[in-house]
Amino acid sequence: MSDLLQEMADVPKDFFKDGTQFINRCTKPDRREFIKISQAVGMGFLIMGAIGYFIKL
């Protein structure tokens, strides 16, 4: 019974530890990387919009 309680208490601790490590590893994109991502997303919107437009016709 005690092992079960200990295991249930370890789950949130592990989750918080993993989340903290992930946040510390993340970095803000530089200007070049941000522009590249924005262009890729914009192209995706245009392609999906064109597909939707032609399907609607």
Confidence at residue 44, expressed as pLDDT on a 0 to 100 scale = 98
Q: Does position 4 have pLDDT exceeding 80, yes or no?
A: no
| Distance, CA of 41 to CA of 36 (rounded, Å) | 9
- 35-42 contact pairs (CB < 8 A, 24+): none
Total count of domains within the chain: 1
State the pLDDT at residue 8: 81
pLDDT for the residue numbered 1 = 62
Q: What is the DSSP letter of 30?
A: -
Q: Look at residue 2 and tell me whether its pLDDT is greater than 80.
A: no
More confident residue, 1 or 40: 40
Contacts of 29 (CB under 8 A, 6+ apart): 37
Q: pLDDT by residue (tens digit) across 6-45?
A: 878 888 888 899 999 999 999 889 999 999 999 999 999 9
Angle at 9 between CA 7 and CA 10, to 5 degrees: 65
> Which residue range forms the structural domain that includes residue 29?
2-56
